[in-house]
Structure formats: structure tokens, C-alpha cells
Amino acid sequence: HGESSARLLTEFALPVPDAVLPERPRSYPGARRLYRFGIHTGMDLYANDAGGLGFGSPVSAIADGTVHRVDHGYVPIGAVAFDAALAQTEAQHRTDDETFELFMGRQVHLDHGQGIASYYGHLNATAPALRAGGLVLQGATIGTVGVTGTSAGAYGYTDGAHLHYEIWIGDRYLGQGLTLYETMRIWQAIFE
């Protein structure tokens, strides 16, 4: 709406200490997810993006905000349910909203005001003190890195543990409608 995304997000920080943005286009919003006939709507950070990042690493709020959603009571999906969800996406040639939620696993959503929100997925755990409607400060631990909602999580492994997080401005994820390289440049302008 005529606002510069980089200007709106100038005070935002990466959710993992010492993280750097990846050079892999497939980790950015807008990358295709062929296994589920969908589009990636967030950023994936792996161990090579942040020294020491792995299963159970703390995840921080990227800016001050209000907790909109926290999945304290999340029940992990098993292999049968995960495989059925994949089969459904293949049959439909798309990932519907309910299945997308399943693939996101345990989540925390924060509202940062001005129509800006951040979502964190695949979490192993959520910070016990978080409550919907509660305030969090930038840098506060909101959860830990996990594999919930992924094939590894469904099959009981921790391989591939990573943080998936999204930034939304209004009803669009940061980078929606742009090429991957344009999206990478916007994320770099904000976080580097």
C-alpha cells in the first residue's frame, strides 16, 4: 500500500542468535514445495545459517509484539496421518489450508502492529509463559527448534531440524508476488 517493507521492518531482528540469511533460494518465501504442491511462505534457517542451531535451540521473537497464537497443547502427527496428508495434496494438486496447518506443526504467531505479524513453525516446544494476548519483547524466547509437521517428526527423527518463520504484512507474506531473487534482496535489505 505504498509503504516500504524495509522501512516498516527496520527494527526487526533474526530469530536465532548469530544467524545469517541463507544463500539458498529454496529457503526463501516464494520457493516451490513440489512434495506438497505448494509455495513456501516463510524463511527456513538451518544449522549452517546459525552456528549451533539444531533440535532444541531457542527461538526468539523478531520484534516486540502480542501473542496471537501459541500451541502449548500441540499433538504431533504420526507417519500414517502425514502420509495421508501428502496423498491428499497429490490428489488435489495443492495444499489446502487445513493440510498446510498440519505441515506447519507446533506454532507461535505474534502480532507486531501496523498489520505486521510473524509466524514460527515446526517448533519442538513453546515457552511456557506465553499466553494468547500476552506481550513479548524482541529477543524473548518463544520456543525451540524442532521438526513437528515434517516427515522427520512424523517418523520420529530429528534430522533436518530447522526454524521456519514467516513475516506477513496485511494478508501477504513478505515477498509474495515477487521473484525469488527480488524476495532475497528485500530480506537482505531488512536483516543485513
Q: How crowded is residue 48: how many other Cβ atoms within 10 Å of its Cβ?
A: 11
| Per-residue pLDDT tens digits for 120-170 | 999 999 999 999 999 999 999 999 999 999 999 999 999 999 999 999 999
Give 73's contacts (C-beta < 8 A, 6+ positions apart): none
C-alpha cell at 34: 513440489
pLDDT in tens, 69-127: 999 999 999 999 999 999 999 999 999 999 999 999 999 999 999 999 999 999 999 99
Do 59 and 142 form a contact (C-beta atoms < 8 A)?
yes
pLDDT at 8: 66
Q: What is the pLDDT of residues 30-66, one digit of tens each?
A: 999 988 888 899 999 999 998 889 999 999 999 999 9
Nearest-CA neighbor of 36 among 80, 97, 77?
A: 97
Contacts of residue 172, Cβ cutoff 8 Å, sequence gap at least 6: none
